[in-house]
Amino acid sequence: MVFSKDKLAVFVDGDFWHGFRYPCWRHKVQPFWRNKIETNRKRDQRNFRRLRRAGWNVLRIWQHEIETDTASCLDRIVELLDLQINRNDR
């Protein structure tokens, strides 16, 4: 999700595809998948740095967080939007 006016980018990362706790299970996947996940993680880091340098707030939410506590995920988004709105009102 992108909140352009407030410069907030929200990424929802799949646990497998983006490697939630990847170092713990890296050794269990085939080289093809290991390469895919590691490439995704490097791209995630690169995109995070680029957005932050451009003045954006970046929020990453894991798939399992949405599945187990959607309300908390929404609260985190609203909290960041409120912070941004308060900064813009100064």
**What's the pTM?**
0.86
| Average confidence (pLDDT) over 72-79 | 96
Q: What is the pLDDT of residues 31-65, one digit of tens each?
A: 999 999 999 999 999 999 999 999 999 999 999 99
Measure Cα distances from 51 to 1, 14, 43, 56, 67 in Å: 14, 20, 12, 5, 26
Max Cα-Cα span within the chain: 52
| Rounded CA separation 16/3 (Å) | 26
In the chain the domains, ranked by start, together with CATH numbers, are 2-88 (3.40.960.10)
Check pLDDT > 60 for residue 82. yes
